[in-house]
């Protein structure tokens, strides 16, 4: 066993370091660490951790005197078993006494405290899990040196902007910028292999970067060297540096990798370094490796990159020290505006030239133009976490309130013996903070287990580092202490207010809780009901949405389709090349025995890109998808032709002004008039020359959510060929697409191919509502359980307190039914008030969910009534069962005892 394995887990070491052990800390730490090592060797780490936990607890709780200095009474775990002693009342040790008192409380009511603390722990676990994921995906700054001075350089045009620059524009900006250091990158993919001839099983992501990119952002090498500007020089050997994660996972941390030759896309390149694992660069998902622009030509068997290359790059800059971002922006704007041939080409307005740049912050995923929207989303998620935590806190508060009322006498005696009110307050608060801390510890451990589950449900697990870091520990500690203190505040104030004389005089002072306490309890219950109904409505809506998805008719044969997206070498720009390529590709692919049909389309269904025109219509936005296809596309994809015909092959060749539209276009724009032969002028003025020749059934081809969608299909022009994708229809797309791939590689191996099986793409779209539904259902169930737990606890407590009164009622003639009705009415009133209030908030708030809901209205009556039904249905038994129990006990026996 290695020395590493005989060390206590990090969490325990951290816990040990936090303990108030006084001056004997070192001895105790050393002893416990050594014991852990012995036990880990003999019984394994799990046993050792468990025993260590017990030892830590025993060291805190066991009464023990200081050893050498008898006068040292207020330090550390020094203990005075005689109580009360004034010197302990106010020293730093007093707090520890409170804690010990609190720990003993755990022993007295294990079930009640267990359920309550368990609920809080679960809520803290959910909160920590959510925060861990948010932290890993959006909150944590990108791994770079001084992230605050890194910016993205955006191209401004007349009516918008773009983040893609032609390579030569970047080269100009780099040369002429003095206020900032300008670098660029281009996202590519390449199969990686360790031997020649073998092509990798899957494409790995590679970021092609300018030679100074890694140096500028702070990507240092842990092995070998990082990339440098000389790697971009003409004639430089092809090199690559590896991402630490890729090196660890795929190359097994091969220490001798530097200097070795590996194959990217079948080209030999030399590995010159492994980059430090903390470096990500200003991207959400760091690539598997970084290669310099100087190696691009070699890797993709293309011409070397130079000013004439058409490669699009993304430009980042590091603003120099002591330079304002505005100054750097002005400087780059002047350079960019001078680039007369750079801009965005649009179909309607022709070339829109660049007019300047905008520098957007790139320090973290939260930084940049969308930061306000991101903040809103993160805030909303954390708000839900807060609501759940508040629910659990209300339970703890109720428990403590019950405890404080029951302990009126104990507290009265302590007050009488000279304890100050502050001391009592501190004791009660100490207990609740302790509950918070215990729950926080348990929640943190639970979240370590929950995070991987949630991450694998939401997305690929390898994309982000979701191990908890300092921020996560801090977050958990803060919410644990806050929820502990928050739960304890009201009960502690209430408890320490005890009326000394009344308490000591009368035994029965504790029999009925003071009205203030029961008011507090009722408002907690009302709040819990309100929060639960809010979350239940949300979950019900998502569930209905997910159900709708399972019944959704796509309107085409997604399970028989696969698509192939080619990317032509950037030096082969001419349309004739694409035309020739597709001519032979279609001929050969259609000749394959496994292929039923094949055709071309610019935007195949669920391909990730669409061309959308948003029309303002009836006060809302009406989306029209546009697609360019060849004549066989409708038959290949299986669209149902309702009227007229599809366009013919000769119309496609001639780029004829004809169109096929989906039925919703006919319904929404032509008002039921005969569509065949009509023009599209009703849709948009620029389309007035185009004649409708056919109508196909509506189909869900891109977004599953949202409504008001129609599609216009037009013939694929020769300009579209470079961006066209091949759609292949076959019996088993996932198997047959490999044949297609081989055939296409045979035509031109320089054309890189990305294949997609359509049913997988559809699944990944479907997955999102499913995950949303699952998560929200989990959160809502937790909220419901917490609320019911609280309701049950409070009803039980109230019933116990009123036993005497209830039996007097029975003795003078009340029936069991009367008693149950009385209790249920009184207990359910706050629930109903909360329910109505929560529903009102929910109805006002669900509108924001509209974009996330698939196919159903946010006011879906089934979902809302279902949520109400679930809440009432679970609240009722929680109230009725303790009420029934009270009503059924033998009244005479109880009254005799009193």
Partner 1 sequence: MKGDKLGEFEEFALLAVYALKDGTYGVPIQQYMEKSTGRTVTMGAVYAALSRLEEKGYVRSALGDATPVRGGKRKRQYESTAAGIKALHDLKRVRERIWQAIDARGRA
Give whichever of 31 and 576 is closer to partner 1, judged by the CB atom.
31
Least distance from partner 1 to the Cβ atom of residue 110, Å: 19
Q: Which is nearer to partner 1, 59 or 489 (CB)?
A: 59
**CB closer to partner 1, 22 vs 200:** 22
57 vs 249 by CB, closer to partner 1? 57
Nearest-approach distance from CB 51 to partner 1, in angstroms: 8
* 1, 18, 62, 237: which one binds partner 1 (CB under 8 A): 62
* Beta strands in 132-179, from DSSP E residues, in sequence order: 150-157, 160-162, 165-166
Residue positions counted in the chain: 898
Q: Say if CB 194 and CB 263 are below 8 A apart.
A: yes
Give the 3-state secondary structure of residue 485.
helix
Q: Does 626 bind partner 1 (CB under 8 A)?
A: no
Kindly state whether residue 48 participates in binding partner 1, applying the rule CB under 8 A: no
* Interaction of residue 69 with partner 1, rule CB under 8 A: no
Kindly state whether residue 61 participates in binding partner 1, applying the rule CB under 8 A. Answer: yes
Q: Using an 8 Å Cβ cutoff, are 315 and 167 in contact?
A: no
Query: Of the two residues 60 and 161, which places its CB atom closer to partner 1 in the complex?
Result: 60
Beta-bridge partners for 599: 727
Q: Of the candidates 863, 795, 801, 857, which has an alpha carbon nearest to the alpha carbon of residue 823?
A: 795
Told to check if 898 binds partner 1 by CB under 8 A, we report no
d(CA 156, CA 202): 36
Where do runs of H (alpha helix) occur along 177-292?
A: 213-217, 244-250
Of the pair 61, 610, the CB lying nearest partner 1 is at 61
* Rounded least distance, CB 32 to partner 1, Å: 6
User: Considering beta carbons, is residue 28 or 737 the nearer one to partner 1?
Assistant: 28
By the rule CB under 8 A, 38 interacts with partner 1: yes
CA trace torsion 103, 104, 109, 111 (10° rounding): 40
Supply angle C-alpha 565, 566, 569, rounded to 5: 155
Residue 99 binds partner 1 (CB under 8 A): no
What's the min distance (Å) between Cβ of 65 and partner 1? Answer: 5
Q: Which is nearer to partner 1, 61 or 781 (CB)?
A: 61
Q: Segment contacting partner 1 (CB under 8 A): 29-37, 457-465, 782-790, 864-872?
A: 29-37
Give least dist CB 74 to partner 1, A.
16
Alpha-carbon span 429 to 452, nearest angstrom: 35
Tokens 């229809």 sit at which residue?
Answer: 729
Query: Smaller CB distance to partner 1: residue 66 or 333?
Result: 66
Q: How far is the CB of 3 from partner 1 (least distance, A)?
A: 11
Question: In the bound complex, what is the minimum distance in angstroms from residue 414's beta carbon to partner 1?
Answer: 23
CB of 95 to partner 1, least distance (A): 19
Determine phi and psi for 595, rounding to 5 degrees: -90, 125
Least distance CB 81 / partner 1 (angstroms) = 8
CA neighbor of 561 nearest in space, from 766, 697, 761 = 761
Helix or strand holding residue 110 (H, E):
helix 110-134
Give the range of 57-65, 148-156, 322-330, 359-367 binding partner 1 by CB under 8 A: 57-65
Q: How far is the CB of 228 from partner 1 (least distance, A)?
A: 43
Q: Is 96 in the site for partner 1 (CB under 8 A)?
A: no
Q: Does 31 bind partner 1 (CB under 8 A)?
A: yes
- Does 284 bind partner 1 (CB under 8 A)? Our answer is no
Q: Does 54 bind partner 1 (CB under 8 A)?
A: yes
Cα–Cα distance measured from residue 361 to residue 282, given in angstroms and rounded to the nearest whole number: 10
d(CA 768, CA 703): 12
Element (H, E) at 243: strand 239-243
Q: Kindly indicate which of the ranges 53-61, 695-703, 791-799, 859-867 contains the residues binding partner 1, using the contact rule CB under 8 A.
A: 53-61
Among 13, 15, 19, 55, binds partner 1 (CB under 8 A): 55
What's the longest Cα–Cα distance across the chain? 105
Sign of the Cα pseudo-torsion (786, 791, 794, 799, in order): negative
**Alpha-carbon distance 839 to 463, whole Å?**
39
Q: How near is the Cβ of 96 to partner 1 at its closest, in Å?
A: 14
With beta carbons less than 8 A apart as the criterion, state whether 589 and 739 touch: no
Helix runs in 301-420, H state only? 325-337, 371-406, 408-416
Q: Which stretch binds partner 1 (CB under 8 A): 58-66, 352-360, 653-661, 762-770?
A: 58-66
CB 529 within 8 A of CB 830: yes
User: What is the total count of residues that contact partner 1 (CB under 8 A)?
Assistant: 24
- Contact region for partner 1 (CB under 8 A) — 28-36, 188-196, 390-398, 847-855? 28-36
Phi, psi for 301 (deg, rounded to 5):
45, 50
**640 lies in the binding site for partner 1 (CB under 8 A):** no
H or E element at residue 275: strand 267-275
63 near partner 1 (CB under 8 A): yes
Q: Does 34 bind partner 1 (CB under 8 A)?
A: yes
Tell whether residue 43 is a contact of partner 1 (CB under 8 A).
no
Which of 15, 19, 35, 771 is in the footprint of partner 1 by CB under 8 A? 35
User: What does the alpha-carbon distance between residue 125 and residue 782 come to, in Å, rounded to a whole number?
Assistant: 11
Non-local (6+) Cβ contacts of 140 within 8 A are: 364, 469, 471
Q: CB 64 → partner 1: shortest distance, Å? A: 4
CB of 21 to partner 1, least distance (A): 10
184 near partner 1 (CB under 8 A) = no
Q: How far is the CB of 506 from partner 1 (least distance, A)?
A: 35
Query: Could you say which of 8, 45, 66, 780 contacts partner 1 (CB under 8 A)?
Result: 66
Q: Any contact of residue 85 with partner 1 (CB under 8 A)?
A: no
Residue 729 contacts by C-beta under 8 Å, 6 or more apart in sequence?
A: 557, 560, 561, 595, 596, 597, 598, 636, 637, 638
Tell me the window of 60-68, 127-135, 464-472, 496-504 that interacts with partner 1 (CB under 8 A): 60-68
Smallest gap, in angstroms, from Cβ of residue 75 to partner 1? 14
Using rule CB under 8 A, residue 18 touches partner 1: no
CA distance 72 to 666: 90
Q: Which is nearer to partner 1, 55 or 748 (CB)?
A: 55
Q: Is 32 in the site for partner 1 (CB under 8 A)?
A: yes
Binding test (CB under 8 A) with partner 1, winner from 1, 17, 57, 840: 57
Contact 563, 717 (CB under 8 A): no
Three-point CA angle 334, 337, 343, nearest 5°: 150
| Cross-strand pairs, 612 | 625
Is residue 403 packed enough to be buried (19+ CB in 10 Å), middle (13-18) or exposed (0-12)?
Answer: buried
Q: Quick one: which of 43, 65, 617, 847 contacts partner 1 (CB under 8 A)?
A: 65
Least distance in Å: CB of 98 to partner 1? 19
Are the C-beta atoms of residues 568 and 581 closer than 8 Å to each other? Answer: yes
Return the number of the residue (61 or 570) whose C-beta is nearest partner 1. 61
Which residue stretch of 30-38, 167-175, 543-551, 776-784 sits at the interface with partner 1 (rule: CB under 8 A)? 30-38
DSSP conformation letters of 864-893? HHHHHHHHHHHHHHHHHHHHHHHHHS-HHH
Structure tokens at 323: 């330079």
Decide: is 46 part of the binding site for partner 1 (CB under 8 A): no
- Verify binding: residue 27, partner 1, rule CB under 8 A: yes
Check residue 49 for interaction with partner 1 (CB under 8 A): no
Asked whether the CA dihedral 276, 282, 287, 290 is positive or negative, the reply is: negative
Q: In terms of DSSP bridges, do strands 267-275 and 239-243 run parallel, antiparallel, or are they unpaired?
A: parallel
Residues of this chain that bind partner 1 (CB under 8 A): 24, 26-28, 30-32, 34-35, 38, 54-55, 57-67, 81
């Amino acid at each position: 066993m290695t020395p590493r394995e005989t060390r206590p887990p990090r969490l325990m070491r951290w816990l040990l370091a936090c303990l108030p052990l006084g001056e004997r800390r070192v001895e105790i730490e050393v002893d416990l660490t050594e014991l852990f090592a012995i036990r880990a060797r003999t019984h394994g780490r799990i046993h050792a951790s468990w025993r260590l936990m017990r030892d830590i607890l025993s060291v805190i709780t066991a009464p023990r005197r200081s050893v050498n200095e008898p006068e040292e009474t207020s330090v550390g775990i020094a203990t005075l078993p005689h109580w009360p002693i004034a010197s302990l009342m106010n020293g730093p040790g007093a707090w520890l006494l409170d804690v010990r008192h609190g720990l003993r409380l755990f022993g007295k009511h294990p079930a009640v405290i267990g359920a309550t603390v368990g609920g809080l722990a679960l809520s803290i676990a959910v909160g920590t899990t959510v925060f861990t994921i948010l932290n890993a995906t959006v909150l944590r700054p990108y791994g770079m040196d001084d992230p605050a001075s890194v910016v993205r350089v955006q191209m401004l045009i007349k009516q918008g902007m773009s983040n893609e620059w032609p390579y030569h524009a970047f080269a100009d900006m780099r040369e002429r910028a003095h206020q900032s250091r300008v670098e660029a990158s281009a996202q590519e993919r390449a199969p990686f292999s360790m031997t020649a001839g073998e092509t990798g099983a899957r494409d790995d992501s590679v970021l092609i970067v300018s030679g100074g990119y890694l140096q500028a952002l702070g990507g240092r090498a842990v092995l070998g060297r990082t990339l440098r500007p000389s790697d971009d020089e003409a004639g430089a050997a092809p090199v690559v540096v590896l991402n630490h994660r890729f090196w660890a996972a795929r190359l097994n941390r091969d220490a001798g990798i530097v200097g070795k030759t590996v194959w990217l896309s079948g080209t030999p390149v030399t590995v010159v370094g492994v980059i430090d694992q903390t470096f990500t660069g200003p991207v959400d998902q760091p690539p598997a490796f970084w290669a310099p622009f100087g190696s691009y030509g070699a890797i993709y068997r293309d011409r070397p990159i130079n000013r004439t290359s058409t490669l699009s790059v993304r430009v980042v800059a590091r603003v120099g020290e002591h330079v304002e971002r505005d100054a750097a922006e002005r400087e780059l704007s002047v350079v960019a505006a001078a680039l007369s041939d750079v801009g965005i080409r649009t179909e309607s307005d022709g070339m829109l030239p660049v007019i300047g740049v905008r520098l957007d912050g790139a320090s973290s995923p939260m930084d940049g133009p969308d930061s306000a929207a991101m903040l809103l989303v993160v805030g909303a998620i954390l708000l839900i976490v807060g609501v759940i935590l508040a629910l659990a806190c209300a339970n703890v508060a109720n428990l403590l309130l019950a405890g404080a009322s029951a302990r009126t006498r104990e507290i009265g005696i302590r007050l009488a013996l000279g304890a100050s009110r502050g001391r009592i307050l501190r004791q009660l608060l100490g207990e609740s903070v302790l509950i918070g801390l215990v729950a926080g510890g348990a929640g943190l451990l639970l979240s370590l287990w929950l995070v991987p589950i949630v991450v694998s449900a939401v997305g690929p697990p390898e994309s982000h580092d979701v191990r908890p870091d300092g921020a996560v520990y801090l977050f958990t500690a803060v919410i644990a202490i806050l929820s502990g203190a928050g739960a304890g505040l009201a009960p502690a104030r209430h408890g320490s207010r005890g009326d000394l004389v009344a308490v000591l005089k009368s035994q029965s002072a504790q029999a009925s809780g003071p009205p203030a306490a029961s008011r507090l309890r009722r408002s907690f219950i009302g709040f819990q009901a309100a929060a639960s109904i809010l979350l239940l409505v949300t979950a019900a809506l998502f569930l209905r949405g997910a159900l709708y998805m399972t019944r959704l008719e796509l309107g085409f044969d997604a399970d028989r389709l696969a698509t192939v997206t080619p990317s032509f070498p950037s030096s082969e720009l001419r349309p004739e090349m694409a035309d020739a390529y597709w001519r032979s590709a279609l001929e050969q692919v259609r000749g394959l025995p496994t292929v039923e049909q094949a055709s071309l389309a610019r935007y195949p269904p669920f391909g990730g890109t669409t061309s959308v025109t948003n029309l303002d219509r009836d006060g809302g936005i009406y989306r029209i998808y546009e697609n360019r296809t060849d004549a066989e596309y409708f038959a290949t994809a299986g669209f149902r032709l309702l009227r007229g015909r599809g366009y013919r092959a000769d119309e496609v060749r001639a780029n004829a002004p004809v169109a096929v539209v989906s039925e919703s276009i006919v319904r929404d724009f032509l008002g039921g008039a005969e569509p065949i032969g009509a023009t599209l002028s009703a849709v948009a003025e620029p389309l007035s020359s185009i004649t409708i020749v056919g109508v196909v059934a509506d189909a869900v081809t891109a977004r599953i959510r949202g409504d008001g969608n129609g599609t216009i299909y037009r013939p694929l022009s020769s300009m579209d060929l470079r961006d066209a994708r091949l759609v292949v229809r076959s019996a088993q797309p996932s198997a047959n697409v490999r044949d297609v791939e081989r055939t296409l590689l045979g035509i031109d191996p320089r054309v890189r191919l990305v294949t997609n099986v359509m049913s997988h793409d559809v699944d990944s779209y479907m997955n999102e509502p499913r995950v949303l539904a699952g998560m929200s259902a989990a959160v809502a169930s937790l909220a419901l359980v917490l609320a019911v737990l609280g309701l049950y606890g409070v009803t039980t407590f109230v019933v116990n307190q009123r036993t005497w009164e209830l039996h007097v009622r029975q003795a003078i003639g009340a029936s069991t039914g009367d008693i149950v009705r009385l209790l249920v009415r009184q207990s359910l009133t706050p629930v109903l008030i909360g329910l109505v209030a929560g529903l009102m908030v929910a109805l006002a708030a669900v509108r924001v969910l509209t974009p996330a809901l698939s196919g159903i209205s946010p006011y879906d009556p089934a979902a809302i009534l279902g949520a109400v039904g679930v809440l009432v249905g679970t609240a009722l038994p929680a109230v009725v069962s303790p009420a029934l129990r009270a009503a059924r006990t033998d009244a005479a026996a109880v009254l005799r005892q009193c």
